[in-house]
Structure 1
Amino acid sequence: MTEPYSSPASDEKLMDAAREGDRGAFDRLVSPYYGELHAHCYRMLGEVHDAEDALQDALVGAWRGLEGFEGRSSVRSWLYRIATNSCLKLIKKRPKRLLSADYHPARSAADDLGRPAAEEFWVEPYPESAWGAEPADPQIIYELRESVELAFVAALQHLPATQRAVLIMREVLAFSAAEVAAALDTSVASVNSALQRARGSLDQRVSGQSQQATLRELGDEACRALVTDFVSAWERADVPALVGMLAENARLTMPPLPAWFDGPEDIGKFLAERIFDRSWRMVPASANGQLAFVGYRASDDGARFLLAGLNVVTLRGNRILEITSFLDPRMIEAFGLPAELTA
């Protein structure tokens, strides 16, 4: 990934002041990197709250370890080393975060969607607001969004922690093998070996082009049309129209519920039997750099529409390959969504 915001000269001045106990200088030193570090922690951990915990731990460690910074690397490299090791510590304490298909087989019957199990932990969606002010460079925005796409982050969670760190630092952040070796206190040979294994594992789980490339190929006009068609079909409960937008191997998942549906026929059956007993309002959004829709379901009296979930959409060409409906309010609280809409 292209290195964004700060400059070595300004970093050096702020570092000198921070070493003298100026906490304001330290905050100004790290603030240009906060957003990208937060996204890094999310890639490592697959969950926004864990990412925030890891990043705060890293910043505390950086403040306490100012004297240990000898200037042989950039401030950015130094912060990434601390943040990565903070994530690695947290990974040892947290269960692996996965997707619906990793836990359960697909269902065809829509009568029982199951209950969330306490031992299951899910990859969660990522709000673009979490990385703060949007970079001015469109290429940086493209790369940031591509690096937090849902399928990519989910695939990363299957890698052993060190392989995960190596692949992210080498492939996403473009650190050299020597820089990664220094960050992880290992050898360049070990880094290269871990990267090769990680690439092989990732290639088995992530195929096809990224969502950013897909959206770019579609173009703004086609994307707007797709969004309009989806919202319109959902709000008028037009199941055939929705099914007609799906790819042949489409999936619909609903973490943290164990039930998920594979293929247009079973998805259409589920929508017809379980979703449209009440009316909906759908609000276009964005999550993980992908198209998303916030779903609001009518209340008992029909006077309000209550927040029901965040639907992250994965495309293949101009067809919907997957709808991931995040239903747990805790999974989407970082998006700051209103709890209800008035009718």
Structure 2
Amino acid sequence: MGEISSASTRRDDPGVPDADLARAQHGDDAAFTRLVSPLRGELRAHCYRMLGSVHDAEDAVQEALVRAWRGLAGFEGRSSLRTWLYTVATRVCLDLVEARGRRAMPVDLGPSSEHAVLDQAPRTDVAWLGPYPDAALPHADPAGPAARYEQREAVELAFVAACQHLPGNQRAALLLFDVLGFSAAEIAAMMATSTTSVNSALARARRVLASRLPARSQQQTLRTLGDPAARRLAADFAGALERGDAAALIALLTEDVTWSMPPLPHWYRGIAAVSDFAIQVPITRCPSWRHKLTTANGQPAVAFYLAADPALPHGAWSIAVLDLREDLIAGITSFLDPDLFGRFGLPTTIG
């Protein structure tokens, strides 16, 4: 792995002990673990933004750390260790993007459905974008002052989904520059290209994102709305489903609301289509709901549990991530994957 010759003082390694670095370079696994542990969270978030899957992100971080461990003896300190690790992780992600392609949302597969589609079969041939647990986000903001996006803005579903429409080099350039605040020269060294190529990739990536992102981020909306009001909206949404109260549910939605349910391919746009789906499927066909409030992708979310009878234990069913606009719900993405619950620290059954 090549060295990075220009390292910003903003991203120098805070408190990296020279003794641990020397020990790690001589094969001390415990010293290496001490060096990289403080950076795992932000590296995982970076890999998630690149890959659109928390599972893939964890695999990428693991592979990056294996590569870093093997190449650490050649690390000469011309960049910070953090910058070097981002180089390794980004290259791992670029290899995965090239091998696996991009992750999709139902909106990428075709137009919305006007009426409820019953008994859909999951699309197992599609690599679906997945949610990211907020607990896995780094607590400190690792970005430089020139970054265009806040760290939580850059894990919002709309942002990560938009990034999936970028080629790997554009995706990496945009995330490293606009999210993490690396310079064009640093990114050029990371990606073994020229500064001119980085600037060109940035310009193209920004045009794509401008055409796909909403004018207002969820973080901006949540700051205006406030956490208590956002949690109340999520709780009211979940409560309406549990009671089978279609009128209360519909009253929470914007006129142009969307509802999608990966891995099911059909999705709905507009109050009429979403109402028809809500009444015919979750309210009519699902006997008993329970829920726990959570957060995902920097957004309010609800973990739903389902049972055939209210008296029975309810099993993990879906995690619904909510897009809010003012004081209403503008988007619902229900990830139908019980395996996600463990990643969110949630039980798989509740009473």
Answer whether TM exceeds 0.5 for this pair: yes
User: Against the structure 1 CA distance between its residues 252 and 77, is the aligned structure 2 distance closer, same or farther, given a 3 Å change threshold?
Assistant: same
1:196-215 matches, cutoff 5 A: 196-215=203-222
Q: Which residue of 2 aligns with 1:24?
A: 30
Moved more, 79-88 or 213-222: 213-222
Which SS does the other structure have where 1:70 is aligned?
A: coil
Is 1:169 the equivalent of 2:176? Answer: yes
Cα distance in 2, alignment partners of residues 36 and 301 from structure 1: 41
Cα shift at 1:5: 9.6
User: Against the structure 1 CA distance between its residues 42 and 232, is the aligned structure 2 distance closer, same or farther, given a 3 Å change threshold?
Assistant: same
1:303-342 matches, cutoff 5 A: 303-342=312-351
Cα shift at 1:162: 0.3
Which SS does the other structure have where 1:27 is aligned?
A: helix
Which SS does the other structure have where 2:258 is aligned?
A: strand
Whether contact under 8 Å (1:125, 1:332) holds in the other structure is no
Cα distance in 1, alignment partners of residues 239 and 346 from structure 2: 21
Cα distance in 1, alignment partners of residues 15 and 280 from structure 2: 62
Unaligned residue ranges in structure 2 (runs of 5+)? 1-7
Cα shift at 1:14: 2.1
| Identical pairs, percent | 48
Q: Which residue of 1 aligns with 2:198?
A: 191
Which SS does the other structure have where 1:10 is aligned?
A: coil
Which SS does the other structure have where 2:304 is aligned?
A: strand
1:184-333 matches, cutoff 5 A: 184-277=191-284, 278-300=287-309, 302-333=311-342
Cα shift at 1:279: 2.5
Which SS does the other structure have where 2:277 is aligned?
A: helix
Cα distance in 1, alignment partners of residues 341 and 131 from structure 2: 7
Cα shift at 1:331: 4.7
Cα distance in 2, alignment partners of residues 264 and 198 from structure 1: 32
Which SS does the other structure have where 1:144 is aligned?
A: coil
Cα distance in 2, alignment partners of residues 340 and 264 from structure 1: 32
User: Against the structure 1 CA distance between its residues 301 and 247, is the aligned structure 2 distance closer, same or farther, given a 3 Å change threshold?
Assistant: closer
Whether contact under 8 Å (2:51, 2:97) holds in the other structure is yes
Q: Deviations over 1:179-234 (max 9, x none)?
A: 10000001111100110000001111112221111111111332243233223322
Which SS does the other structure have where 1:242 is aligned?
A: helix
Cα distance in 1, alignment partners of residues 11 and 264 from structure 2: 40
What amino acid maps onto 1:26 in structure 2?
A: F
Whether contact under 8 Å (2:117, 2:266) holds in the other structure is no
Which SS does the other structure have where 1:324 is aligned?
A: strand
User: Against the structure 1 CA distance between its residues 301 and 174, is the aligned structure 2 distance closer, same or farther, given a 3 Å change threshold?
Assistant: closer
Cα shift at 1:25: 0.9
Decide which structure has greater helix share. Answer: 1
Is 1:109 the equivalent of 2:118? Answer: no
User: Against the structure 1 CA distance between its residues 57 and 340, is the aligned structure 2 distance closer, same or farther, given a 3 Å change threshold?
Assistant: same
Q: Deviations over 1:291-337 (max 9, x none)?
A: 00011122347422222111000111211111000002345542242
Whether contact under 8 Å (1:284, 1:292) holds in the other structure is yes
- RMSD across aligned positions (CA): 2.4
Is 1:179 the equivalent of 2:208? Answer: no
Cα distance in 2, alignment partners of residues 302 and 110 from structure 1: 28
User: Against the structure 1 CA distance between its residues 196 and 335, is the aligned structure 2 distance closer, same or farther, given a 3 Å change threshold?
Assistant: same
Q: Deviations over 1:119-144 (max 9, x none)?
A: 21111001123346x3499x99x933
Cα distance in 2, alignment partners of residues 124 and 77 from structure 1: 27
User: Against the structure 1 CA distance between its residues 79 and 296, is the aligned structure 2 distance closer, same or farther, given a 3 Å change threshold?
Assistant: same
Q: Deviations over 1:102-125 (max 9, x none)?
A: 012211232435212232111100
Q: Which residue of 2 aligns with 1:35?
A: 41
Cα distance in 2, alignment partners of residues 239 and 103 from structure 1: 28
Cα shift at 1:6: 8.0
Q: Deviations over 1:36-69 (max 9, x none)?
A: 0000000000001111111111001101111221
Whether contact under 8 Å (1:326, 1:332) holds in the other structure is no
Whether contact under 8 Å (1:54, 1:86) holds in the other structure is yes
Whether contact under 8 Å (1:34, 1:131) holds in the other structure is no
Cα distance in 2, alignment partners of residues 136 and 290 from structure 1: 17
Cα distance in 1, alignment partners of residues 46 and 66 from structure 2: 17
Unaligned residue ranges in structure 1 (runs of 5+)? none
TM-score, length basis structure 1 = 0.92
Cα distance in 2, alignment partners of residues 109 and 189 from structure 1: 49
What amino acid maps onto 1:70 in structure 2?
A: E
Whether contact under 8 Å (2:113, 2:269) holds in the other structure is yes
Cα distance in 1, alignment partners of residues 117 and 14 from structure 2: 60
